[in-house]
Each structure stands twice: as C-alpha cells, then as structure tokens.
Structure 1
Amino acid sequence: MEASTDAIHAPTVAGISGNAIDGAYSVALSGGYPDDIDLGIAFTYTGCGGRDLKGTKQNPKNLRTAPQTFNQSFDWPYNAALKRSAETRQPVRVIRGFKLDSPFAPATGYRYDGLYVVEKAWMAKGLTKGLLVCRYAFKRLTGQPDLITRDEDDET
C-alpha cells in the first residue's frame, strides 16, 4: 500500500503498472509465479493472467493465489505494457517484496530497488502444468546504489 501511496507502484495488488502505449512504469517482484528467477542485477519475470480470479464454489475467494489454469497472453494490458517496455527500452522501477524467494528480497515489507530495462519479452511454457506464460528479462541500469541482500537487510 505504501508503494502505491508514494506513487512508486500504483497498483495495490497487481505486480505490473503501466499500459500498452507508454509501457510499464513499475513491477513488483513478490513471488507470484514459480517461474521468476532473481539474480539481483538481472531477473526473469513472469507476466500476469492465466488465473481464474473469481474462484470456485469450493474456494470462492482465492484471488491472487489461484492456480494458473490457462495460458497467459501479450493481449492482457499489463503484459502488453512490459512488451512495449522491451521495445522502447525505457527504464522500469522495480520493487521487491519479502515473499520473494531471493537473497535480494527484503526481510520484511517491500523495497524500491532501482531502475531496470526490459531486455527481452517472449512466450514460454511455464512451470505450472506447462501452460504458456509471458516472460521478461530485466537488467539493472548501472550507476545506482548497490543492491541490499536479505542478510544485510536483517542487520539494519
């Protein structure tokens, strides 16, 4: 919520902020998909969609934790935003969340971790049932403060 209030990452739930014309403004890495790989200065990010957010009769409120049940698409507005960013190479703000399984994730809460460029956008089979996911390769811009690791974050 603070990232939205501070205008760093507008959506309070969605991991991607932006549109298909201007591109993405920001992404939040928070462990939403098992396909994400975080190496700090570079990461591979999984797009959004492919989940039935209405839930089921047995579990009507599974929202963002719903399993992926259909293919993602670049036609989804947020996925199109990141694809546009790969074309324009305009920097995207990156926020990392504590739920992300990465040494670069904060110990608690969310943290702004700088500007990255989307180097590539492509479709691939995901780790969930082999369904297609939108994939994005990000690389951190040089000249920014060093990244903080979870161990360093625990010391503060």
Structure 2
Amino acid sequence: MAASPVFGHVGTAQPGDLFASRLELSLRGQHRPRRAGVGATAALGAESIVLAEQYEDDAYHDDHFWYAGSGGRDPKTGRQVTDQAPNDYRNQGLMRSERTGQPVRVFRRIAPGGDRQFRYEGLWQVVAHTYGPGKSGFQVFRFKLKPWQ
C-alpha cells in the first residue's frame, strides 16, 4: 500500500477494470480505506471514492453525479441520523480537491456478492459542493463530480 496519496491512475488500472472486493482495492492501492467511501486527507485532498449507491442524498446523471459527504450515518442502516461535521477530514479532502482541481479515482459497486464487485469508473473532478438539509432533514455535504479533463 502506498505511503502517501496518489492522485490519478494507480499502476496499470484503466476505466472498466473490475475488482473483487474492497480488500483488493486497498491492497492494490486503488482505494486505500477498507471500509470508508472516501480516501482522503484534509491537507492533500481526495484521491478516491467508492459509489455504493446506498445513500439517499447521492444522485446519478449521465454526465455527472452528486456524492453525499461523510459522517452522520447510522453504521447499521446507512441512514442519515445527524448533521455531517464540516471538520470531517474526508469532507475537507473533497473540498480541497475542488479547490485544486486534481483528479479523484472513482469506483462503483456493481454486483454485491458477485465474483467482481467493483468497477473502476476512471478519473473525475470535484467541481462544486453544497451544505444544506438532505432528504432526512440533516445538514449534509453534497459534492458534484464530472469526468476529469
């Protein structure tokens, strides 16, 4: 596993590549956290995210998506139960990436329980964010990502 964040492609991975598990993503340095959806540091930015398509404030479109920030979720249900904290390092990392324009690797969960569960979606860029009431009424960050150019 890499000692510091890598922004951009890692190794020979290309969009469309499939990975068996979060453990494989972590061991190959693609998405270092084994559980968290955001691989980031507040100081350097977000290097990768995993789209699990299980959070009510995420929204997917043909040319962009909105990714709900980190924190405030019940660990068992995934439902938002409190406000997200602005000082969460993962949210700060995504905001830092918005300021710097650096690419973020995106992985999508495609087949829960299947042989290959995650697909590499390529490099994306955080282009905007909001902080306001989500669908459950709690304050949440939402980050807009578009394909990196």
Cα 1:91/1:37, change in 2 over 3 Å:
same
Q: Which residue of 2 aligns with 1:19?
A: 41
Q: Calculate the aligned-residue CA RMSD, in Å.
A: 2.1
Task: Assess if the C-alpha contact under 8 Å between 1:98 and 1:107 holds in 2.
Answer: no
| Structure 2: gaps of 5 or more residues | 1-22
The equivalent position to 2:92 in structure 1, one of 52, 63, 80, is 80
Corresponding position: 1:90 with 2:102: yes
Q: Which residue of 2 aligns with 1:136?
A: 143
User: Quick one: percent identity of the two aligned structures?
Assistant: 36
Give the 3-state SS of the residue equivalent to 2:85 in structure 1: coil
Cα 1:15/1:40, change in 2 over 3 Å:
farther
Distance, in Å, in 2 between the alignment partners of 1:68 and 1:121 is 18
What is the identity, as a one-letter code, of the residue corresponding to 1:29?
Answer: L
What is the identity, as a one-letter code, of the residue corresponding to 2:138?
Answer: L
Q: Which residue of 2 aligns with 1:32?
A: 54
The equivalent position to 1:51 in structure 2, one of 59, 63, 73, is 73
Give the 3-state SS of the residue equivalent to 2:71 in structure 1: coil
Q: TM-score, normalised by structure 1?
A: 0.73
| Structure 1: gaps of 5 or more residues | 54-61, 101-105, 143-156
Distance, in Å, in 2 between the alignment partners of 1:44 and 1:69 is 20
**Higher gyration radius (CA):** 1
1:43-88 deviation digits (Å, cap 9, x = unpaired): 10001101354xxxxxxxx2xx343211012211111110111111
Give the 3-state SS of the residue equivalent to 1:113 in structure 2: strand
1:28-52 deviation digits (Å, cap 9, x = unpaired): 0002311111124311000110135
List, as ranges, runs of 4+ consecutive aligned residues in structure 1 with deviation greater than 2 Å: none
Task: Assess if the C-alpha contact under 8 Å between 2:133 and 2:139 holds in 1.
Answer: yes
Q: TM-score, normalised by structure 2?
A: 0.77
